[in-house]
Structure 1
Amino acid sequence: MEERQEWETDSEQEEDSKAKKKGSSLTKGYLNKVLSYYPFEVKDIRLLSSRSGRTTWEVQTAQGTKILKQAEMKANRMLFIADAHLHLQKNGLPIAPLYRTKNGGYCIGTKETAFVMYDKVTGNETIYYNKDQLSRALDFAGKFHVASKGFDAAEGAKTRGRLGKWHKLYRWKLQELEGNKQIALSFPNDPFSIMFLEHVDKMLERGRKALEDLNRPEYDQWVKQTIDEKSFCQQDFTFARLVDINQQTFMRELHSITYDLPARDLRIILNKVMKKMSVWDQDLAIHMLCSYDRVNPLTKDQYRVLWTDLAFPHLFCSVAHKYYLGQKRSWSDEKYIWALQNIIGVEESKDAFLKKFSDIVREIKNNNGGKSRGKKEKG
């Protein structure tokens, strides 16, 4: 059970609200009250960062350096994430130890905000341009998905999931892409819209084909298996929360989770890496998937679902969404155009990879020693 306590008076809430707007987050008295719930003698507190609804402090204690994180979410949502963190920790995943309160709570919640505390973990940054680190990061992703199995969320936790909901997501993104096409047509002299219109029909066609492919039995079968295994994925797998310690990948914190197929994390990782490269590097993609498959082997049917998700133009939809909604206010028109050019290059160079499904899956299996799960598969 998470701990809940109403601490603030109205004047203190107003003070804290003003402090958050200035980026200094919470008052020292408030923090001391939060920290008093943990079994540590606090020596010093230092603000590390405050952005995107999350604030972290470095806490010096007699038992070592800890990280206190505050997130703008209800305690029952944080309980879902914290409980998953402890589940991964118990199953041996290299992840920063999460601490309970004096009363055994996973997290502390007050109205629209929640806190967790875990060890500070230091190591080398995990980067997208280092082939060895990419291999270790995908090895870690495989371990993450294996360690997630058998998870039963704590009573009262507010769960989140997209299992069985990909059809709805694809349709929504395609409808938005159609709408953005109509918007682009109304701006005939806009450079971004001109470039967008040159490629949108191809992306719509690929997206519709991916939506149709979801009707194949492989998707439903994997959804059922994932439900039976009680596993989860990260939701937004990023190297920002990973560090390299003695050539071993370690997770500093668990940012979020959702009940969904491992393919979602793999698609996000592969797209992020290739976007950094500005081209779809087939050999690098195979190298990364081999590292994953050695730890958590996927069947050919499961790879077919991953290919479907890679074929859907998620990146193209995302940059159009950002531009036509004006989400990135700090981005200049030139940066938007560069981002669109980059994504078009990645999506177009991905085509050759997607067309070699059987050959690439065979190569992945050969490179990992031929491991596979379930029944023997046809080549």
Structure 2
Amino acid sequence: MYQKEHEEKLIHDVLAYYPFQVEHVALKSNKSGRKIWEIETDKGPKMLKEAQIKPERMLFITQAHAHLQEKGLPIAPLHKTKNGGSCIGADHISYCLYDKVPGKEMIYYNTEQMKKIMEFAGRFHHAAKGYVCSDESKKRSRLGKWNKLYRWKLQELEGNMQIASSFPDDPFSQTFLLHADKMLARGKEALRRLDASDYEEWTKETLKNGGFCFQDFTLARLTEVDGEPFLKELHSITYDLPSRDLRILFNKLMVKLSVWDTELMVSLLRSYDAVYPLTEKQYEILWIDLAFPHLFCAIAHKYYLKQKKSWSDEKYNWALQNMISVEHSKEDFLQQLPALFKDIKSQQGVS
């Protein structure tokens, strides 16, 4: 009881920095080091986000939120404090306040919604250009670091292969080892191709333009308002190539489908490309990133570090089988870039 009262007092102290009369406060979400409070005010419902990150990092995110808002992207209005700040915080706890935006759920299995989401992603990447964070903020960037990240993931994969070998009776490790050599080889080939690609040129162009990515592109951040996607909050961002968002979104989608659907992907990329066109060299970098076994590496990372404490062995094994199905079923797709690039650019392409 004391902790709850203390927490409620803290939230009211935070809300005192904003120019609203608070009528009611309710905790709506509490996970992954973030809490979301719904605030009823004299100016309508608001959402207060509490995150276990330094204020300098939150400032990097909220200033980007304000940048997107100024560029006209459909995003929940962010509110400033009485002193004009976009967020507040101390030590490793930060807060920001934005409007609650009612809307319909957007789902991965709705193709028409997904096409609109791809158009929205293109608008997001256009709007992200020109963002310059303040000196007080702490930026996050992965630009120019893909080669290093690939190498680190491959080293971890080899380490997990050694760990798996020490558990010969473990079903997860048995399945993992059946496919690890092939995934390791594909990862090494992706690294070789990345080194030979136009990655550095696209990185320099993005650095010049100041573009950023979602960091973790998921439909949980979006809602449908008047038939169109609307961003409920800006969870996190990083300076990186726009193709990183596409890779993350497509891998999420195909994992839910349990198989790689090439026709669907081309259809979705045509929607994105109509708003944010990419060159064939840039699509090659997306193809390389999709070829790297991010999914396979990720599930092994979770399992051997026991990151998902609530997951049973059965759930881990199911997730591994699903990742393997997706990784293997995308292989034909990975060999078809020239033809699929023409389909993406053609008005008569796959739909």
The question of whether the paired residues in 2 share the 8 Å contact of 1:223 and 1:261 is answered with: yes
Q: SS at the partner of 2:97? A: strand
1:106 to 72, 86, 89: 86
Instruction: Give the deviation of 1:50 after TM superposition.
Output: 1.3
Distance 2:40 2:163 in 1: 53
SS in 2 for 1:129: coil
Amino acid at match of 1:245: V
Q: How does 1:12-27 map to 2 (within 5 A)?
A: 19=3, 24=4, 27=7
Amino acid at match of 2:110: N
Q: Which residue does the alignment assign to 2:25?
A: 45
Q: What is the aligned partner in structure 1 of residue 230 from structure 2?
A: 250
Q: Does 1:66 align with 2:46?
A: yes
1:280 to 248, 260, 266: 260
Residues 75-94 of structure 1 correspond to what in structure 2 (within 5 A)? 75-94=55-74
Instruction: Assess if the C-alpha contact under 8 Å between 1:307 and 1:354 holds in 2.
Output: yes
CA deviations over 1:22-50 (Å, ceiling 9, x no partner)? xx595222222111111111111111111
Deviation at 1:204, TM superposition (A): 0.4
| Separation in structure 1 between the aligned mates of residue 130 and residue 340 of structure 2, nearest angstrom | 31
Aligned identity (percent) is 56
1:191-212 Cα distance to aligned partner (Å, 9 max, x none): 1111111110110000000101
- From the superposition, tell whether residues 78 and 25 of structure 1 become closer, same or farther in structure 2 (CA, over 3 Å): farther
How far apart, in 2, do the equivalents of 1:26 and 1:269 lie?
39
Task: Summarize the Cα distance change of 1:368–1:232 in structure 2 as closer, same or farther, 3 Å threshold.
Answer: farther
SS of corresponding position for 1:315: helix
Counterparts of 1:114-193 in structure 2, within 5 Å, are 114-193=94-173
Aligned residues of 2:197 and 2:285 also touching (Cα < 8 A): no
**What corresponds to 1:298 in structure 2?**
278
Identify unmatched segments of 5+ residues in structure 1. 1-14, 370-379
Partner of 1:314: 294
CA RMSD of the aligned region, Å?
1.4
Preserved CA contact (<8 Å) 2:57 2:138: yes
TM score, norm. by length of structure 2: 0.97
Structure 2 unaligned residues grouped into runs of 5+: none
Are 2:220 and 1:240 equivalent residues in the alignment? yes
Using the alignment, how far apart are the partners of 2:143 and 2:235 within structure 1? 19
Measure, in 2, the Cα distance between the counterparts of 1:25 and 1:364: 56
Q: Which letter does structure 1 place at the counterpart of 2:14?
A: V
Q: 1:211 & 1:273 partners in 2: Cα distance?
A: 24
User: What SS is found at the alignment partner of 1:60?
Assistant: strand
Counterpart code for 1:171 = R
Question: Match of 1:275, as an amino acid?
Answer: V
Q: Which amino acid aligns with 2:343?
A: E
Contact 1:293 1:368 in 2 (8 A): no
Instruction: Give the AA of the match of 2:31.
Output: R
Q: Could you tell me which residue of structure 1 aligns to residue 249 of structure 2?
A: 269
Give the distance between the partners of 1:247 and 1:26, measured in 2 at CA: 41
Q: Which runs of 4+ in 1 moved over 4 A?
A: none
Q: Give the residue type in structure 2 aligned to 1:54.
A: R
